[in-house]
Structure 1
Amino acid sequence: MYKPGSAAALCAVASFLAIPVLGGVGPGSLTQYVNIFTGTAQNDNPGNVFAGAAVPFGMAKVTLQVAGYSPAGYVSESTELARGISPLHDSGTGSSEGSYGNFCIMPVVCAGFSQCPALEGPRSLRRVGDGNNDTGFPGYFSTTLVNGVQIELASTQAASLERYTFPAGTMPTLVLDWTDDSPHSFLFGQMHADWPAQRIIMNGTFRSSFGPSQFSYPAFQCVDLSLAGSISDRTLFGGNTNGMDARRDDLDFWDLPPVAERLRRPDFIQPLQAGAIVRFSPPSSENGSILVRRGVSYTSAQRACENMEREIPAPDFDKLVADSNAQWEDKLGRIVLANGTSDYIRRLFYTSLYRTFLSPNNATGNAPPPYTDTEHPYFDGLYCSWDTYRTLFPLMALTSPREMAQIADTYVDGWRREGWLPECRANNVLGWTQGANNAVPIVADFIVKYADHAADLGLDLNEFWEALEHDVEAVPANWDYTGRRQESYKKLGYIAYNYLESGSTGQRTREASRGLEYAFGDFAAGMVAETLNKSDVAKALFQRSLTYRHNFDPSLKSDGYSSFVARRFPDGTFVPGSNPVDCSPLDTNSSHECSTQSTNTFGIYESSSWEYSLYAPHDVAGLIAVLGSNDTANKNETFAKRLHHFFDAGYYLPGNEPSFQTPTLFHHVGRPADSVRQVRRIVYDHFNLTRGGLPGNDDNAAMASLLVWHLLGLYPVPASGEMLVLSPFMPGYEIHNELLGDVRVRVTGFDLRSLARDVPQGARAFVDTLKLDGVAVGRCRVDFSQLFAARDVEFVMTDVEVGGCDGQEPSSVSAGGFV
């Protein structure tokens, strides 16, 4: 276990002290607390976090592309070989073959130009220290290869500036890869070299990393080599893993057209590795370093060149780093921690908050069809909304209303252009639906909190409502990547197992968990309807949101507890043989699948029935009644015991999104102190600053935003304004919201002794009451609108585990509804 003050903690903190200063340029007052390498370990719960140079929500995410398992391109502490520097990546996604990684540039050291390795295998190298010596901070990244070349990276929204410093006495040489993205999915494209101008443009069409195989996406790059000095040698190359390694210096254009017949014959596919090799003489600087400038786009090569020229008009590497770092300072400054915050918590907080601004990728103005001519914002890398609706977007609502508005508009533009809100858009195309059509609670969360500001933001909420209503009511052609599996859900109130839908198709899996997620989506849409004064529609949606109860089999038992979600036949009976332990951390049976596989037939997605049977964020009071139906008089006690058993027995899965809300459920039975204790254990057991410091895949900052909420002492109920009150890890903070103004949070009686995995006797870790502008409002919940109306928020702390919620019990649809 990792604890502040331990050897691991001291090493993690020391790693910040090794950050280089570039001509006086280094991390700022807040970015100095960010460790960009947290979550980049390849083994031990890989977080799949991007570590490289990027600006907030940058489309260009430039870093080292490492072979093997590297979904974000970069991994640390790995003996895997480096394939080159790519400007396109995602962060924190679970695509095992990787996402993007297109257009690698690899610096090579070779005596004769004809001897320079070009193909991926021969040119790949290890790093000095195998990643342990890599350095960086927000806006800057550096690594050194075993051939002695130091690589330094900086970027803008859609372009990068890369500095390669070669060993003294060597001729700077670069291999520019055209065809090899991370999963080696190149289909066709063109490459053109304007040798007199020292400019190369490339494009390719590649397969998506997380979607139906018939979907593909285009990518374009424009490379300016004129900053590196005069080209002395150059050639185009092409080869494969079967022995071909051909080169031609008489070519400046190469067109690989689509070959439909070959694509239908997998046994005919012989992947081509192709690109260009260039050598410079003399280097562009006295120390042997050369600069390369390039731009990227999903629209055209011309747009990629325009991005490069507009965003990096002059080759000033240090200025670009400083400008990028300043953008990160602005984003991190939206929550400023008070003096007296421990150094460890400050670093943990800002390292996590940093990642919440890495994704999704703002590709506005650079979108592929059918979005190329859209007048609306365009963001890529939305996968998956099932991961991010719980914590990431509610946090964005707290700090970044304009960016949230743009992303919500992006979701609605999916409905405008393709007929549905995108649930899991990856690589600019539709991806697999995971839990449900979870774009609904994301768009709903924005509307519920910012309806009064929609006009100022240029948004038509009637149009937003039309998109939401369509997504919860319409029947898709294929529910695997759009909409819902609707027919039996609407007819029976649950998704029936062994039921033949007549109007659409898709995988017959995940019936129970989808039913729960659909019900929550109905609640989210209902909250929007209520916000927009559509009372009758809201009432009907709230009523349908209570159908989550239909998924519980009261006769299903495990560990002495009864009533678990399970598959259900159309006649109302439940499928026999269900085991709530399946796909939990205690499941030792490796013969069944738990994710999107067609053979996942036990009714739940990426989780266990033990976990999903605690999921009804909009109606926990009703859930308590369902789970305590055999013990009505003591249903709260039964629920509390079941929650404790869930954690103590090992069913809690810290890296899984359905478990995010579970530690706070003690609030609903009047035991907020139990929630605080459980959150303390989770923070210290599963998160730290090391490179393996996450409990699993970051999932586009789902994990990062969860930790930020825990440290702030709050937890949101998505698609509502409600936040449950926990216990802050710092003596106070200020929230700066550009639309709603500033909020000052004070923690009266803050006790450093409470910052421990197990709260010691006498430590003030518990909230006695929450005060808004001096008025006590209870200890269990606060509303988003209350928070920003108050301006002065005070957590009054105590060492007494006070029971009850002091009149502020968390809301539930079946117990009066939400404000």
Structure 2
Amino acid sequence: MSGLTAPTLGGVGPGPLTQYVNVFTGTAQNDNPGNVFAGAAVPFGMAKVTLQVAGYSPAGYVSESTELARGVSPLHDSGTGSSEGSFGNFCIMPVVCGDDFAECPTLEEPRSLRRVGDGNNDTGFPGYFSTTFVNGVQIELASTQAASLERYNFPAGTEPTLVLDWTDDSPHSFLYGQMHADWSAQRIVMNGTFRSSFGPSQFSYPAFQCVDLSLAGSIKDRAFFGGNVNGMDARRDDLDSWDLPPVAERLRRPDFIQPLQAGAIVRFPPQSSGGDRSILVRRGVSFTSAQRACENMEREIPEPDFDKIVTDSNSQWEEKLGRIVLSDETSDYIRRLFYTSFYRTFLSPNNATGNAPPPYTDSEHPYFDGLYCSWDTYRTLFPLLALTSPREMAEIVDTYVDGWRREGWLPECRANNVLGWTQGGNNAVPIVADFLIKYAGHAAALGIDLDEFWAALEHDVEAMPSNWDYAGRRQESYQKLGYMAYNYLESGSNGQRTREASRGLEYAFGDFAAGMAARTLGKPDASDALLRRSLSYRNNFDPDLESDGFKSFVARRFPNGTFVPGANPVDCSPLDTNSSHECSTQSTNRFGIYESSSWEYSLYAPHDVAGMISVLGANDTANKNDTFAKRLHHFFDAGYYLPGNEPSFQTPTLFHHIGRPADSVRQVRRIVHDHFSLDRGGLPGNDDNAAMASLLVWHLLGLYPVPASGELLILSPFVPGYAIRNELLGDVAVRVTGFDPRTLETREVPPGGRAFVESLKLDGVAVGRCRVDFAQLFAARDVEFVMTDVERLGCDGQEPSSVSTGGFV
């Protein structure tokens, strides 16, 4: 099966909404890798159980690949871009071997197998996954919050044999750990300390698992094994414990390293009747202790009822997806596209509350792992959570604030339970601020301490970290000069001296976010100061830098105010053909921009687009809107737009700011048509913890959020109506009067197609065609998009807000 049609098992299958989810979208390995997790998980599940496939597989699973599978791991992330992958610990691999148990393969390469159909025959739906290996073993996977139930179906006449890997995570970063087997109880516990997938090398994390093999019947043969790629392949059946102690860093000479592959292998008798033999394996995981992993397993899966676990998991997904219900008249394709994307917005981060490592083990606050990266998620994911899921948003944001409580800073990119690399700026700030702006009035109901939340925000926009690579800001020159100076020697802090221009823009937006939160919390002095400082983004624009006939682009700037010569705004854009330079977090990134080009980042000032337009049209002030329109069209037409890159998320909506919302609609329609589909390669890039998924959800709903504000820009719905269900703010019914399905058939709006908004009505009162406020939306209850085929100019007095023109009041 392709995965587009959800399977059933023994009468158990997906529900009314989960049947529309294609869990394999975004799992291609070579064609637009979205790095999406496809396996068994509950919403925000810590246990995410699926295959660990060799090669490029950051989420463990990849589809349509001839790469070999190493086994089934219960720990994964979704949508990350780490080439070595994240987690992938504790694989279990079913092997079929002859009568001699000693000849059964244990090491990674000998035991690895291809799948029947190389992934094309894999099946799954929310809460369930299955594949079959070329040795004839079918695996079926189900999970709970912190445990999994796995069914291994062996061919008739074989003796079921399982290899339990102890030391090999996805990037092979095992440092030390322990393994213990209680052979009489048929229970094995393992732990290891591993390197983080996206953080400084000095950071490591512990992981624990508890495996119950008693559901499979009596063990016939068993042994511990150990080996390496240099010829060692040994096993012992007289052991029940093995301790690999840490090795001092001073002894870790590269020429001494011989990574050990180790674990256990167990064999069970064949089916007595001669038929196929199915065995169940139950296991729990934790980042706290092996005891906690066993407790999770016993509490969450007290009985080995595989179908019940699948049904319960699928029911949790039904509840989440039911928070936005599409009109019955929605086309089947759009419905599938919507719920496939909406599903992924609840996959990550991973709720590890009660299972956290130090310093969070004893915290009374929620704990979520896999926050990477805030630069990806603050734009669309968290505003979408605000729309439908205030309690989950409160818990995740409280996790951010607990980072400040326990480690001194809001986490930027926590991966594998440790601090990760900062990407754009200190982008946790707009996440916390967005929550406060929308839900400060519900703090008591959500169990939130507003004073602590504000203290964390204020600290992160003002304090100076020891190292800005993984916490806080590169602060000194920003506060002294109003921009991130190139070739400036900081006296009290350290970190990479790169990405100066893009960080300056991101810090300015962070100031806006904190200023808006201060205003919400009744702190006018702090708000005014931060909003003024948010206009410092202008200091990053070189008015004389030119490209394609347009002037004024962001670039690196010396402390004396001059700009670094030789900048090229095309560098690191899709049109850049020079593969010899770096554009990301590398220390050799010399362009002052992170993961993007100056063409792209020069359009980034979400809080002050009107002011940005003035900066970009500085040499043509009389016709600055026309100049901006030409520049924006050229940005898309020339190929500078990068659909898989977060700084481009807001760019299609910028036409709103010059009174041309129809142009925004046209551009968004093209983007959805050209870059998103249900295919396994149906994303334009990494899903980035559902950044891509949430962007598409917003586009299909006909809205786009301005983070850290209540403002929603009005686009054009792809559906004839929908209902939003919010447990704190109530339900909102959305109608699309004059909805025209013909406008969805091609990338361009056909002549006479009603794809444009005449006006948005709230409880029957028109409020313009360009923006609506979050609070207005939920106060209305009845929302109506009135569609037209006429491309109206202007916003009927509801122009999008900008700080420099007095907006966001």
1:176 matched residue in structure 2: 164
* Whole-angstrom CA distance in 1 between matches of 2:254 and 2:294: 35
Query: 1:9-158 maps to which residues of 2 (within 5 A)?
Result: 15-17=3-5, 19-111=6-98, 112-158=100-146
* Whole-angstrom CA distance in 1 between matches of 2:489 and 2:580: 27
Identical pairs, percent:
87
* Whole-angstrom CA distance in 1 between matches of 2:688 and 2:738: 35
1:799 matched residue in structure 2: 789
Query: 1:148-547 maps to which residues of 2 (within 5 A)?
Result: 148-261=136-249, 264-283=252-271, 287-547=276-536
1:561 matched residue in structure 2: 550
* Whole-angstrom CA distance in 1 between matches of 2:213 and 2:271: 12
The equivalent position to 2:696 in structure 1, one of 707, 710, 718, is 707
CA contact (8 A) 2:157 2:276 kept: no
Tell me by how many angstroms 1:45 deviates.
1.6
Tell me by how many angstroms 1:456 deviates.
1.4
| Secondary structure, counterpart of 2:445 in structure 1 | coil
CA deviation profile, 1:58-114 (whole Å, cap 9, x unmatched): 000000000010000000000000000000000000110000000000000001211
User: Residue type matched to 1:432 in 2?
Assistant: W
* Whole-angstrom CA distance in 2 between matches of 1:800 and 1:512: 40
* Whole-angstrom CA distance in 2 between matches of 1:283 and 1:686: 50
Which deviates further from its counterpart, 654-663 or 286-295? Answer: 286-295
Tell me by how many angstroms 1:206 deviates.
0.1
| Secondary structure, counterpart of 1:574 in structure 2 | coil
Structure 1 residues 284, 434: closer, same or farther in 2, change over 3 A? farther
Tell me, which stretches of 5 or more residues in structure 2 are unaligned?
none
| Secondary structure, counterpart of 2:4 in structure 1 | helix
CA contact (8 A) 1:120 1:273 kept: yes
Which deviates further from its counterpart, 253-262 or 799-808? Answer: 253-262
User: Residue type matched to 1:271 in 2?
Assistant: P
CA contact (8 A) 2:158 2:270 kept: no
Tell me by how many angstroms 1:263 deviates.
5.1
* Whole-angstrom CA distance in 2 between matches of 1:365 and 1:703: 30
Tell me by how many angstroms 1:458 deviates.
1.1
* Whole-angstrom CA distance in 1 between matches of 2:529 and 2:502: 22
**1:787 aligns to 2:774 (yes or no):** no
User: Residue type matched to 2:219 in 1?
Assistant: I
* Whole-angstrom CA distance in 2 between matches of 1:488 and 1:589: 31
**1:775 aligns to 2:762 (yes or no):** no
Tell me by how many angstroms 1:20 deviates.
2.6
* Whole-angstrom CA distance in 1 between matches of 2:51 and 2:464: 43
CA contact (8 A) 2:156 2:271 kept: no
CA deviation profile, 1:621-668 (whole Å, cap 9, x unmatched): 000000001111110111011000000000000000000000000000
| Secondary structure, counterpart of 2:758 in structure 1 | strand
CA deviation profile, 1:241-296 (whole Å, cap 9, x unmatched): 00000000000000000011565322211000000000112559964100000000
The equivalent position to 1:759 in structure 2, one of 749, 753, 757, is 749
1:4 matched residue in structure 2: none
| Secondary structure, counterpart of 1:121 in structure 2 | helix
* Whole-angstrom CA distance in 1 between matches of 2:689 and 2:567: 32
| Secondary structure, counterpart of 1:456 in structure 2 | helix
CA deviation profile, 1:714-770 (whole Å, cap 9, x unmatched): 000000000000000000000000110000000000000111310000010000000
* Whole-angstrom CA distance in 1 between matches of 2:103 and 2:635: 61
| TM-score where L is the length of structure 1 | 0.98
Tell me by how many angstroms 1:209 deviates.
0.1
Tell me by how many angstroms 1:377 deviates.
0.1
Tell me by how many angstroms 1:314 deviates.
0.2
**1:627 aligns to 2:632 (yes or no):** no
* Whole-angstrom CA distance in 2 between matches of 1:462 and 1:236: 53
* Whole-angstrom CA distance in 1 between matches of 2:565 and 2:575: 21
* Whole-angstrom CA distance in 2 between matches of 1:686 and 1:616: 24
Aligned residues: 806
| Secondary structure, counterpart of 1:151 in structure 2 | strand
User: Residue type matched to 2:230 in 1?
Assistant: N
**1:716 aligns to 2:705 (yes or no):** yes
Tell me by how many angstroms 1:475 deviates.
0.2
Tell me by how many angstroms 1:158 deviates.
0.2
User: Residue type matched to 2:11 in 1?
Assistant: G
**1:649 aligns to 2:635 (yes or no):** no
Query: 1:672-751 maps to which residues of 2 (within 5 A)?
Result: 672-751=661-740
2:804 matched residue in structure 1: 814
CA contact (8 A) 1:712 1:729 kept: yes
CA contact (8 A) 1:263 1:269 kept: no
User: Residue type matched to 1:196 in 2?
Assistant: S
| Secondary structure, counterpart of 1:231 in structure 2 | coil
1:8 matched residue in structure 2: none
* Whole-angstrom CA distance in 2 between matches of 1:726 and 1:72: 33
CA deviation profile, 1:294-329 (whole Å, cap 9, x unmatched): 000000000000000000000000010000000000
* Whole-angstrom CA distance in 2 between matches of 1:278 and 1:741: 54
**1:604 aligns to 2:586 (yes or no):** no
* Whole-angstrom CA distance in 2 between matches of 1:182 and 1:96: 10
CA contact (8 A) 1:228 1:284 kept: no
| Secondary structure, counterpart of 2:446 in structure 1 | coil
After the TM superposition, which parts of structure 1 deviate over 4 Å for at least 4 consecutive aligned residues? 282-286
* Whole-angstrom CA distance in 2 between matches of 1:509 and 1:267: 32
| Secondary structure, counterpart of 1:705 in structure 2 | helix
* Whole-angstrom CA distance in 2 between matches of 1:572 and 1:271: 51
CA contact (8 A) 2:722 2:735 kept: yes
CA contact (8 A) 1:100 1:181 kept: yes
* Whole-angstrom CA distance in 1 between matches of 2:775 and 2:241: 59
CA contact (8 A) 1:229 1:283 kept: no
| Secondary structure, counterpart of 1:79 in structure 2 | coil
* Whole-angstrom CA distance in 1 between matches of 2:634 and 2:365: 48
Structure 1 residues 125, 412: closer, same or farther in 2, change over 3 A? same
* Whole-angstrom CA distance in 2 between matches of 1:284 and 1:383: 49
Tell me by how many angstroms 1:808 deviates.
0.2
1:578 matched residue in structure 2: 567
Tell me by how many angstroms 1:16 deviates.
3.1
CA contact (8 A) 1:284 1:291 kept: no
